[in-house]
Chain A
């Protein structure tokens, strides 16, 4: 069974780039374009890794989605990589406080993104979500 990855990003171009990057790996990919959609799809698909943009329009941003996932016993094992705009140091602090496992600063290196994803998926303590 392939590992599932959920991309939650409101900017279509960035979402597409992440998708294209992750297509280099053998993953089952899903995408969401805002926090509310991301939360619904996290419950529906139970991804192993989630890439979550911090700033998104709608009633939930990335930080709130992250906090909700990490406080839900059924979902808390999802590894979350936050995507944050450069210079938003407070976003990084808030993301880690909300339970994020890692963060990448935009524009991020796709190689680094792949490394992070693979690192999480191959970690010995990884449990199926």
Chain B
């Protein structure tokens, strides 16, 4: 292998080895050497890889061949064997799944900590602030401090909310989503706000049969709640908010509309999808009026129970969908569209297929015995 290619392979985090048809190692990159003690000219030190290679060479398996090594070569979860353009040579990628799992565990631990250790003090702090001060009773000397404390409490509450979601459910899931039920759940959760603002909610398409949509119910319900909450807060009091489900082509669309805006007028010039933790910074940088951050709840971008439209957009995108905020139409109707692809996500679950094939192999003798017995019985019956 030429030095440039060698240098390139050594930059990869995954282990890469080249083996010949007998499993003799021809090359191993630096990461490959960390996963297993690979010596050029020696057989690859893992029998499952050698067996897989033999199957591939004999045409009994298809490339790329995934080999489960979860309890095998140190630090690897799987290996993938693929033929190379050089005749009789195969590339072996040693997947560093352990690293990804370690990251996931670290994130989960962090959110566990925020939720269990920091959550209660955050709640107490936020409640205490609300109970201790009425907006008008704050002395001028403390006003700025009070506003900062309120903004901090909101951010902390949202961080705790994120922690709860991360702790209890995976970000991307393949649950079948009962969209109509999710819309009703969101409206139940927003019941107080609907009542307080005297908003009429118009529902459409909830009873129609729609194609199935898959994803994480918890996260997408959360995203939908954020959009609906926004629509309720920014709609004029005693107006209406519309919620409609419909299918167009390969997408199911949740439309949320109001006769108002989806953002406070003070923040109208800002990009829509600003992460919630950066709202304050945006306002400061652009010298927006401080009131825009700390006004009444219906005008407060940092207020409400939500995670922010930016996060919603990410959640929806992770599920292969889109969150669109079109321009206001001529009637003053503003409509947010949450689009999700219909049908189950295509799955190429190699591990499941292998396990299923094993079950087949295990049962084959019994199946053959059964078939022979049935044939024997049929022959006897014919003979009789």
Q: Residues of A at under 8 Å CB distance from B? A: 10-11, 13-14, 17, 20-21, 24-26, 54-61, 63-64, 85, 90-91, 94, 106-111, 114
Contacts and interface: CB of A to CB of B under 8 A. Distances in A.
B345 A57 contact: yes
A90 B212 CA distance: 14
Interface string B204-230: 000001011010000000000000000
15 contacts: A10-B346, A11-B349, A11-B353, A55-B347, A60-B211, A61-B176, A61-B212, A64-B209, A107-B352, A107-B359, A108-B356, A109-B363, A110-B360, A110-B364, A114-B367
Contacts of A90: 175-176
B174 interface: yes
Nearest to A112: B363
B368 interface: yes
B367 A55 contact: no
Interface of B: 174-176, 209, 211-212, 214, 250, 342-349, 352-353, 355-360, 362-364, 366-368, 370-371, 374
B344 A56 contact: yes
Given A55-B347, A60-B211, A14 B356 contact: yes
B359 A60 contact: no
A56 B176 contact: no
Given A17-B357, A59-B342, A60-B212, A106 B347 contact: no
A20 B353 contact: no
Nearest to A61: B212
Contacts of B352: 14, 85, 106-107
Contacts of A109: 359, 362-363
A64 B348 CA distance: 22
Given A59-B343, A107-B356, A114-B370, 19 more contacts: A10-B344, A13-B353, A13-B356, A14-B352, A14-B353, A17-B357, A17-B360, A21-B360, A54-B176, A55-B344, A55-B347, A56-B343, A58-B343, A61-B344, A63-B176, A90-B176, A109-B359, A109-B362, A114-B367
A11 B358 CA distance: 16
* Of listed B250, B367, B374, residue having the most chain A CB within 10 A: B367
Given A55-B344, A58-B343, A24 B367 contact: yes
A60 B209 CA distance: 11
A110 B367 contact: yes
Nearest to B367: A24
Contacts of A57: 343-346
Contact of A17 (B175, B346, B356, B368): B356
Contacts of A14: 352-353, 356
A55 B356 contact: no
A53 B100 CA distance: 30
Contacts of A13: 353, 356-357
A110 B176 CA distance: 26
